[in-house]
Structure 1
């Protein structure tokens, strides 16, 4: 695995109702559940490309670190404190053999944000649970949350969001040797596996009315059914499918998500200067290609499709 470019501090927060590990799940935005750890061996060359990304990462001008701002406090402290999972493959996965090495799309972006503020990727991680993210921001335990954190107007009443910086949604997985299906547009007349009580149950018929649905209670059951050929494709949340594909080379994800779920960077409520600062950083890393390189080395390593465009800043209610 790629070695983390900086010392990484991990802190456990254990108030009465706080679960310490956030997991990537069927609906990563709102209720997290476990995903199968793993890494696609073919991703190693892409991951090594991030060495250059770190070496050339953008650093904020001194004038952008406003006096008495959150950015100034972080710089004086010398580290960025991030709410982030440790067990979300391709997003923020801790290396069991090297606990200081946490990598993935969220983890790498968090370290690049630290470079933008500090000039070096000094990050301290506080693993949250989905129900504690707002509290960690409100009480100042963390500076930011990178945690497949779906932007909603309800959440935006309690905290603020920069971004969105990533879009997920329902996507399509097929067996690795299937070259006929390249996305939702090819599922007409096909037998499609879905998770019971997931958004796919209604979304697939809306997109492909002639598809026949086969429902399974859990993701492992659905995955097994796909591999056994009991369906032509499996429709589920993109991040979960990408995680499955990273740990099982008998399946692949094809095309881009066909529904939209926008993830934001969680911030303390009404910190307008910090939000503008992070949004400006996002625009810079999108324009200079950094965002795409991080995607290609992480989530993109498990997907058979072109690199997507980064979502437009402020494009969803609550952002």
Structure 2
């Protein structure tokens, strides 16, 4: 069973700061924002590199180009955010992107392309990015447009309100309310299932959704727990209500129809899971604010749409 972040464990998220930016180059050790200059572990130095790449494959083309183009967020604490001191993008998704680049290229050369939830499929289809690491929940519907390697992590949806809001403690309490959600995210069908008569208003990014909540444009905001825990601790005017009410497996988005690339990325995931590197990625990101050992990674191919 994959363990997600808990509300009690979120106290330490106070040190995390959401910033925007993009990253390229090696993954040098860097200071954790707000952590008093502590050094984060450089995970790429001992990370594996694939022995061979199939001729003419997507992987070979990426290696010749010399950089892995990753669709990702630029404002997601714990997942993908820029360190103000080093300008490196840090977090769970950022680390995984660099490790995959090391596996393909032999060096953690990454270009992060800022993508929104409604643009990810297009960026993959038109070749703007090679992969997407962006809390990209695997669903059978999405799998009709993109291929998913993984899942590589699992989280869940929670409800956030303005501080002091009463009467919204569980999904059923969203009935008749105006609820904010990210455009083209799993929150939308989850809200419709829990509260069919809720009015859903959507925005393109997490910061926009949070701002709309604070402005009173909705009474609640439904988003992934890993994002909202950091948001709530950065901004005490935002409060998380209850525990996750869904299980959302994160997949690595790939261009649809490239079975060779998908198999290659899944093999890489198996490699870093078996070697313990997956656990180190967790410790290097989410594990900086959640005590205890790393959870067991989800089984590859276990989510509908990732088979």
TM-score tier by shorter-chain length is: 0.5 to 0.7
1:298 to 251, 275, 285: 285
8 Å CA contact retained: 2:101, 2:110: yes
- 1:156 and 1:58, CA in 2 relative to 1: closer, same or farther beyond 3 A? same
Tell whether 2:108 aligns with 1:131: no
Tell whether 2:231 aligns with 1:241: no
The number of residue pairs the alignment matches comes to 244
- Cα-to-partner distance string for 1:253-283 (whole Å, 9 max, x where unaligned): 9x99563101111111111111011001111
Tell whether 2:85 aligns with 1:67: no
TM-score of the aligned structures, taking structure 1 as reference length: 0.64
Partners of 2:244 and 2:302 lie apart in 1 by: 17
- 1:293 and 1:250, CA in 2 relative to 1: closer, same or farther beyond 3 A? farther
Tell me what 2:47 maps to.
57
8 Å CA contact retained: 1:5, 1:121: no
Tell me what 2:74 maps to.
86
Partners of 1:40 and 1:249 lie apart in 2 by: 18
Partners of 1:118 and 1:152 lie apart in 2 by: 30
Tell me what 2:25 maps to.
7
- 1:66 and 1:96, CA in 2 relative to 1: closer, same or farther beyond 3 A? same
- 1:44 and 1:193, CA in 2 relative to 1: closer, same or farther beyond 3 A? farther
- 1:317 and 1:201, CA in 2 relative to 1: closer, same or farther beyond 3 A? closer
Give the alignment's Cα RMSD to 1 decimal: 3.8
Structure 2: which 5+ residue stretches go unaligned?
1-15, 17-21, 27-31, 161-167, 180-186, 195-208, 215-220
TM-score of the aligned structures, taking structure 2 as reference length: 0.66
Partners of 1:271 and 1:236 lie apart in 2 by: 30
1:87-102 aligned at under 5 Å gives the runs 87-98=75-86, 100-102=87-89
Tell me what 2:264 maps to.
277
- 1:68 and 1:101, CA in 2 relative to 1: closer, same or farther beyond 3 A? same
- 1:235 and 1:300, CA in 2 relative to 1: closer, same or farther beyond 3 A? farther
* SS of residue paired to 1:120: coil
Tell me what 1:117 maps to.
104
8 Å CA contact retained: 1:50, 1:294: no
Partners of 1:260 and 1:109 lie apart in 2 by: 21
- Cα-to-partner distance string for 1:7-37 (whole Å, 9 max, x where unaligned): 27xxxxxxxxxxxxxxxxxxxxxxxxxxxxx
8 Å CA contact retained: 1:169, 1:258: yes
- Cα-to-partner distance string for 1:198-235 (whole Å, 9 max, x where unaligned): 758987xxxxxxxxxxxxxx868999xxxxxxxxxx99
